[in-house]
Amino acid sequence: MKWVVGGILAASLLFGGTTMAGAVDFRFQGEILFGTGFLSSAFITERNGQRTEAASADKFATLQRFRLQMEAIASETLSSLLCLEVGDNLWGNNESFGGGGAALGTDGQFVKVRHAFMNWTVPDTSLSMRVGLQTVPAPHTAGGSSILNNEVASIVASYRVTDNVGISGAWLRPFNDNYSPADVSNVNRLDNLDLFMLSVPVSGNGWQVTPWGMLGMSGANTFKGDERQYDFKNTILYMNLLPYSYLRAEANGNMGRRFQDRDYGRLLFIGLPVVVKVFEPLRIEADFNYGYSQGVGRYEITDFRDHATRFAETRREGWLAKALVEYETEWGIPGVFGWYGSGDDGNVGNGSERMPAISPCGNFTSFVGDDPTGFGMLVSGLNATYDLQLNYAGTWGLGIQIKDVSFIEDLTHTLRIARWAGTNSPAMIKYLASTDGAGNRMSYLTTHDSMIECNLDSVYTFSENLSAHIQFGYVLNQMDMGAWNPSYRHEDLKTADAYKASAMLYYTF
C-alpha cells in the first residue's frame, strides 16, 4: 500500500507542474468505503445424515474500497479522466486478487484502473465524443438496466439535434483476445464480442422516452478461457448470453468444437424506457426490453431423470417488462414496482426463452438485488446470496416500498417488501448443474419457486461528505425442494431463510 500512496503523491506533483506549464486544470475527486456485516446462506444440504450449509463462506466480513478520480481539463471542449480503485479489500485476506491485500503488512497488489477516457466536443457543434474505458449503461428506467450497466472499452458519440431530441451511438468491445488453446496457431481466434448501440432520447413537458437498439457479434471462442470449456474466463457473459443448462454441459466437456456450426453468433437488443411526470407528484416509469442471442451451435446434455443424452441449442431469446410508480409526499415517497420476464419452456432443443443480456444490474431491491449504496462489495467476502439476482430474466415480481421516511433529522429510512417468483418450466431442472438454482449473479427460479424479500435501509448524514449506511435484509425462502432434489447431484436439500445486517461508512471528497 505504501507504493500506491507514493505513486499517487508523485503523480500529484507531476500534474501540478504540468498545470503551470501547459495551462491544464487538474481536479481530484474520490471516495472511500468501510463496511462490515453479517450474512447467512439460504440453503441447507443434507447428505449422509449431516446437515451443512450450501455455501460455506464466512458469515462475517469487513471490507474497504478506495477510489481516486483525476480529471485533466485542457479546455471546455477537451478533457481526460482517470479513476483508480484500490480494493475491494477484505480485511485480513492476503490474496493478490479477489478481495485481498489487507493482511498483516497490507502490501497486496490490488490497484485497478476503473475509468480511463478522453472527452472531446467538436468546436462550434453539438457533437461530443468519449473514448476509452468508461461506464456505458443501456438506456433504462424502473429498477436498473436489464441489459447492460458496467465499465467497458468503448467509443460513445452524442449529438444534440434540438433541445428535446438527441442521438447517441456507441461501439463497445467487452471481450477480445482471451482464448488460449493448446494449438498456438489458433490463439485469440474468433473470441471477440463487439456491440453497436444507437439511442434517440426524446423529451417533452413532463415526459421522456428513449428508444434504443444494439446489434452485436459473438465469436465461437468468446465463451472459452483455453480449449477446456470449464476453464471459462468470461463468466458474466456466458451466464447472461447462453442457456442456463449450458453451465453443466461445459463443465462436463460436452461443448466440443465439432458441435459448433457457425463462427459468429448474432446479437440483438431493443429497449423502450419511458418516464412520465405530467401528473406530479405522481411519477411513472416503465421499461420494455427484448433480447436475442443466436448462439454458435449445439451441445450434448444428459437428462438426469431418464439418463438419455440429448442435443441442446445455444440460442437464447426472450423479453422483459418492468414498471415503477411513486407518489412524493412531505413525509416520504410510497411506491409500487413490478416486473415480468419470459421463461424457459422445458425443451433444451429449441434453446432458452429467457431474455439474454450482457451485464445487467437490477436494483429494485437491495439484498438479493443490487445494493445501490455500493455495499454489495460484501459479496466477495461472504457468499453469493448478496447481489444474487442482478438479472430478472426468467422471473416475475411485485413489491411495495416507502422511501426517504425521516423521524429524526439527518436520518432517513427506506422500507421495501417484494415477492420474487419464477417463469421457467420445472422440467428444466433435470438438465441443470445447480441443486438450488443459485448461480453467478443470478438465480434460476421455476414456476414452483418463490421468495419474499424484506429490506430496511437507513442513511445517517453526518456532513456533506460523510454518511453512514445501515441495512437489514431478510429473505423468506420458498424454493420447491421436492422439484430440485432430483437434480444431477441428487442431494437432499432443505430450505433455509437468508438474512443480512450491515453497516458502512461512506466518505466522499
Compute how many other C-beta atoms are within 10 angstroms of the C-beta atom of residue 509. 10
**Helices (H) then strands (E): counts for the chain:** 4, 29
Q: Tell me which H or E stretch contains 291.
A: strand 282-293
Per-residue pLDDT of the chain (509 residues), as tens digits, is 444 445 544 455 444 444 444 689 999 999 999 988 887 765 555 444 455 555 555 678 888 889 999 999 999 999 999 999 997 888 887 876 556 778 877 777 778 899 999 999 999 999 999 999 999 999 999 999 999 999 999 999 999 999 999 999 999 999 888 777 655 566 677 888 999 999 999 999 999 999 999 999 988 778 765 444 434 445 667 778 888 777 665 545 444 334 566 788 899 999 999 999 999 999 999 999 999 999 877 888 877 777 788 888 889 999 999 999 999 999 999 999 999 999 999 898 899 999 999 999 899 999 888 876 655 545 444 444 455 668 899 999 999 999 999 999 999 999 999 999 999 999 888 887 655 555 444 578 899 989 999 999 999 999 999 999 999 999 998 888 777 765 555 556 667 788 889 899 999 99
- Domains of the chain and CATH, by start: 38-508 (2.40.160.100)
What is the β-pairing status of strands 202-204 and 207-209?
A: antiparallel
Residue 493: its pLDDT value, please? 62
Cα torsion 124, 126, 127, 133 to 10°: value is 110
pTM of the model: 0.88
Residue 254: its pLDDT value, please? 46
Can you name the residues that pair with 45 across neighbouring β-strands? 52, 493
3-state SS record for 133-152: EEEEECCCCCCEECCEEEEE
